[in-house]
Amino acid sequence: SMARLMRALPHFNFANNLMASLVRRLESPVDPVARAAADALREMMRDNIERSCIRDCVIMIADIVRRKGHHVRPLTLEVLLELKLSGDALLGPKDKRRAQKSDDSEEAQLEADLREARGTAVGKDEARKIATDILDKIFNIYFRLLKTGPSAAPLLPQVLAGLSRFAHLINVDFFSDMLQTVKGLLAPPAEEEGGVELGPVSRLHCILCVFRCLRNQGEAWDLDLQDFYDHLFETLGRLAWSSP
């Protein structure tokens, strides 16, 4: 009931209270309760990224990760994978107009009218700020967990899936840090350090993350990708041999 109310009326006076209650329940030790909360938040995340309530939700999840570190449930991070972040959402007004010259203005106006009727319309500058804030929080969550070390191993599949999903949006200032972190994850673990070897899917997420970053920002870096190609073919070989 709380989820339906929040979804239907995001501008409701107590919408943030309802959302905070759902976010807290993501960490419930009772699986049905946690999954019900996750399903409700996933549905909200699939909505227009311009809604400030989505930013508020991501901030709440980031606060849980800050407080609990690697003790958060994987389910909490899976909710973030439903976000609909795109490069268009981060463009400035002038860039966005250039990128959307061929858009049908009548259709765009209709969509704006619908958002206004639902009480969700925001200005272009505010929409860009919301998307930027969300992206910053997401990468803060992922980098915080990646730097936790082997203790965060149970969360790596969700973290790496998120990084590969949003990697093409990463700021160039974070790229070098991310590249070194991913290289370290792909390297054979040192037994004396208690390292954990990634599974094939997580390894592929690492490689995909790097390639997606390079697709958009590769011209700013002079990199030798041979190591990543070696990891890719090695991982594909393992998958081939493990197939029934």
State the pLDDT at residue 2. Answer: 67
> Exposed/middle/buried for 137, CB within 10 Å: 0-12, 13-18, 19+?
buried
Which tokens belong to 95? 């860039």
Q: Which of 23-27, 71-75, 108-112, 125-129 has the lowest mean pLDDT?
A: 108-112
pLDDT tens digits along 144-175: 888 887 677 788 888 888 888 887 787 777 77
> How confident is residue 123, by pLDDT bands cut at 50, 70 and 90?
low
The mean pLDDT value for 189-200 works out to: 66
Q: Which of 110-114, 125-129, 223-227, 232-236 has the lowest mean pLDDT?
A: 110-114
Residue with tokens 């990199």: 223
- Residue 38 near residue 54 (C-beta atoms within 8 A): no
Which of 74, 67, 60, 242 has the alpha carbon at shortest distance from 153? 74
pLDDT tens digits along 40-59: 888 888 876 667 788 899 99
Q: What percent of the chain has pLDDT over 70?
A: 70
Decide which of 59 and 226 is more confident.
Answer: 59
Task: Using alpha carbons, list the distances in angstroms from residue 19 to 46, 53, 54.
Answer: 15, 8, 10
